Chains A and B, each alone.
Chain A
Amino acid sequence: MAPRKAAVIGGNRIPFARANGRYARASNLDMLTTTLDGLVARFGLADERLGEVVAGAVLKHSRDFNLTREAVLGSRLAPSTPAYDIQQACGTGLEATIAVANKIALGQIESGVAGGVDTASDAPIAVNEDLRKVLVALNGARSLSQRLRLLGRLRPGQIVPEIPQNSEPRTGLSMGEHAAVTAREWGVSREAQDEFAAASHQHLAAAYERGFFDDLVTPYLGLTRDDNLRPDSTAEKLARLKPVFGKGEGATMTAGNSTPLTDGAALTLLGSDEWAAAHKLPVLAHFVDAETAAVDYVHGGGAPGARGADHRYGRDGLLTAPVYAVPRLLARNGLTLQDFDFYEIHEAFASTVLATLAAWEDPGFAKERLGLDAPLGSIDRSRLNVVGSSLAAGHPFAATGGRIVSTLAKLLHEKGSGRGLISICAAGGQGVVAILEAAR
């Protein structure tokens, strides 16, 4: 059986909430279950057995080892719907979509739900590593004397817990600090970042006003819109904020042009065309293809004398993997960067998007790093993130992919033709990109 293209039928997410705010007491399981139930309600899937539900969370409690399956069991879907968790940092949601779309393409399943959830509020806090070792040993102790000896190893300092770090394990730098390096390398100005961030807010607000999200978002815990959204945001207002990433003179990245820590969940419903037709469900778009890439942001380039240290293109930025993934995806599909009607580039930071675009426009980079004769070129910026993105909506890590896939599918459906490009950068120097095309 030749592969077929999976249909994107629709989506659901809860409004995204800034961390330690409206969803402070909601767990990943709460949010994912509610989002799944909202999807079930929107598409009338109560008691339906779907092929598979695939989702994940980046900040995850160990008790949530079977998070997605537990969400299915708590939802109105048939309990006979299988589910599994995946995790690829901020690429989780899109990677989950790829997983479901591929199985549909191969005819292994007829329908599926993909996405993710994250809470930066209800984050897992682990016991102190010293304490953990004592407790593990205590658990294995066989005699009273062994136990007493181990108890004697308990120290007051062990009460300090392990809190999840928003930094790369191999560099110790936060994501923002990494992004600031990339921004400086590509000469992304403060003004450009603020202007870009303001546009994200304005676009998202306008989309809410015209009812675009009426069938993409279901309110949760009294929140009806993303609470990071500032409809009256302007570049002038954002220009007043102090930089928080990068150091000293020339620091450009502020809380306003970076995404905040956010809580939320997003899911996308996919299926075969036949399944959609049998259920009288719309096909908004088809999932065409996807590519992942990773860059080496750890070795080389950094230290004086190391490989590429003096070169402008010497070391890749943490969030620049999509720069590599997209040309490979385009080549495989015989497309150019200009062959798209919509571009959905995840706004981890305004500077990330702008640096990505700059890299695609740069002939030297194309030649030296991408191995291309010519750069991919520039895009029509009026097609970029037309209904806002993470800077305005917020970015619950694993939820962003689902948000973007559903949003882009609806945009393509509204337009009735064309294709869209999704680009999502992820921690660990990874990137996930994909192409959707409007259903005909």
Chain B
Amino acid sequence: MSNDRIRDFSNGALAKRLGVPRVPVLRRYSPGQPLLPGPAFVAGTGRFAEAVAALIVEEGCTVVEEIGEERVAAVVVDLTDATTLDDLAAARAILQPAVRKLAPSGRVLLLGPDPAEAAGVEAAAVAQALDGLVRTIAKEVRAGATANLLVVAAGAAPAAVDSSVRFLLSARSAYVDGQVMRVGVPVGTPQDPPAMDSPTEKPLAGRIAVVTGAARGIGASIADTLARDGATLVVVDIPAAGENLAKVANRTGGVALQLDITADDAPARLVAFLAERFGRADLVVHNAGITRDKLLANMDAERWDSVLNVNLRAQLRITDALLASDLLGDGARIVSVSSQSGIAGNRGQANYVASKAGIIGMVRALAPVVAEKGVTINAVAPGFIETDMTATMPVATREGGRRINSLRQGGLPVDVAETIGWLGQAASGGVNGQVVRVCGQSMIGA
């Protein structure tokens, strides 16, 4: 998929002799792969450290409590009890030797308290300090390693972070870097029984997943990934894309629904289809999106409306219709594909940016509403992802997009898909109303 010649060259013998900085080849997930390729160093005195260590052991990996000579595949520090500058200094003392021993494609995962819940000014300052600290670690670690922070609500039990810890430690989160995600008290049933038989291999077993815009690109990758993780797929795309859509459906053993999501009756048709064929939907992925680029000065209403209708209005209408139906039960998850452009803005994409920023607003507004039904809604915001679209960019633009992030490369569609798979689990109920960037810690909009 990725045709990154500079990365390939930088890993060759010649580049090594010339001293060219290496573009790391990221470790990515394949079924059967262990959670971590080496030992994990777990430290900290918060209420999660023990549970995280147990989870890693349960996955068949080793946990070390001291940093020695051996490199470690992950550094997990539970700082959820950090409230003072002395606590912060203790964190430095733990992290300083640990990051030196981080293996390629290693993982730094911090768990911290929620600044909004901090008791006192110093505690709030310390909680916020972790935010900056993790973003800095993400920029300093090398060789495809990532650093992320889980901000955990005071009321969240240890099990609430399990699916997030699994995701962020595993190779599934290859391109999620420098991100701060909040985990609250889980919404809906925290775990659904079939998934728990195999939380690592088949975390979506038994779940019905709907993916719009699934005929190609990131949407097709989402379908493939969710199916790999055990979901039954309903793949949706415009009728004109039906040829590819059928291939995706048959490849994933799913069902193809040719539907123009902007049609007046599209929400009703989707609801009727799901009701008839499955009686429920456990995961809805709003992925369909289009671009019609023009500078705002040249932007006509047709361009504006077509993008807003597909990228945002259809999502609002379909989500409304699904919520009005009884298809979204306890533990159902909605994930919407936003964009880095929706956070940062982008020249020539006023319509696209408005739609993608609008998605973020939609997700935040809906999160508390859907939570009452045991449902979560989150957004993923991809950065530079290697697709057919980016492959046709001018070289300079493409290279700029690829390198301006901490991993010095573009992500793959599967990186977006893996993130959606994590948010789509019933066990991820603690994550709600979040915008997770899949951008390799891109500088754009950060």
Contact = CB atoms under 8 A, between A and B. Distances in A.
Interface in A41-55: 41-44, 46-47
Contact of B277 (A37, A222, A280): A280
A44 B254 contact: yes
Contacts of A213: 239
B278 A40 contact: no
A211 interface: yes
B276 A282 contact: yes
A218 B250 contact: no
Interface in B221-255: 239-243, 245-247, 249-250, 253-255
Interface string B392-431: 0000000000000000000000000000000000000000
A217 B255 contact: no
Nearest to A280: B277
A217 to B, nearest CB: 7
Contacts of A42: 246, 249, 255-256
A224 interface: yes
Contacts of B245: 41, 218
Given A280-B278, A281-B277, A282-B276, A218 B242 contact: yes
A221 B243 CA distance: 8
Interface in A5-55: 37-38, 40-44, 46-47
B263 interface: yes
B258 interface: yes
B277 A44 contact: yes
A124 interface: no
Interface in A201-241: 211, 213-215, 217-222, 224
A422 B278 CA distance: 32
Contacts of B257: 215
Nearest to A208: B239
B51 to A, nearest CB: 39
B260 interface: yes
A77 to B, nearest CB: 10
A286 interface: no
A41 B256 contact: yes
A205 to B, nearest CB: 15
Contacts of A280: 276-279
A38 B215 CA distance: 13
Nearest to B279: A280
Contacts of B258: 214-215, 218
Nearest to B246: A41
B242 A38 contact: yes
Given A218-B243, A224-B239, A41 B263 contact: no
A281 B277 CA distance: 6
Contacts of B242: 38, 217-219, 224
B260 A211 contact: yes
Contacts of A281: 277
Contacts of A224: 239-240, 242
A220 B242 CA distance: 8
B255 A41 contact: yes
Nearest to A42: B256
Contact of A44 (B247, B255, B259, B279): B255
A44 B235 CA distance: 11
A220 B243 contact: yes
A217 B243 CA distance: 10
Instruction: Say what secondary structure dominates the interface of chain A.
Output: loop
A76 interface: yes
Contacts of B260: 211, 214
B249 A219 contact: no
Nearest to B256: A41
Contacts of A37: 246-247, 250
Given A44-B255, A280-B278, A219 B243 contact: yes
Contact of B259 (A214, A220, A282): A214
Contacts of B263: 211
Contacts of B246: 37-38, 40-42, 218
A42 B246 CA distance: 7
A224 B241 CA distance: 8
Nearest to B245: A41
Interface string A104-146: 0000000000000000000000000000000000000000000
A281 B246 CA distance: 18
Which one of B242, B253, B276 has the greatest number of beta carbons of chain A within 10 Å? B242
Given A211-B260, A211-B263, A214-B239, A44 B249 contact: yes
A10 to B, nearest CB: 11
Contacts of B276: 280, 282
Interface string A275-301: 000001110000000000000000000
A236 B357 CA distance: 52
A213 B258 CA distance: 9
Interface string A178-215: 00000000000000000000000000000000010111
A211 B261 CA distance: 12
A222 B243 CA distance: 8
B102 to A, nearest CB: 43
B227 to A, nearest CB: 11
B118 to A, nearest CB: 50
A218 B248 CA distance: 13
Contact of A46 (B239, B241, B253, B265): B253
25 contacts: A37-B247, A37-B250, A38-B256, A40-B246, A40-B249, A41-B245, A41-B246, A41-B254, A42-B249, A42-B256, A43-B255, A46-B249, A46-B254, A214-B258, A214-B259, A215-B257, A219-B239, A219-B240, A219-B241, A219-B242, A224-B239, A224-B240, A224-B242, A280-B277, A281-B277
Given A215-B257, A218-B243, 17 more contacts: A40-B250, A41-B254, A41-B255, A42-B246, A43-B255, A44-B254, A47-B253, A211-B263, A211-B265, A214-B259, A215-B258, A218-B246, A219-B239, A219-B241, A221-B243, A222-B243, A280-B278
Q: Lowest 4 A-B CB distances belong to which pairs?
A: A41-B249, A41-B246, A44-B255, A41-B256
Interface of A: 37-38, 40-44, 46-47, 76, 211, 213-215, 217-222, 224, 280-282
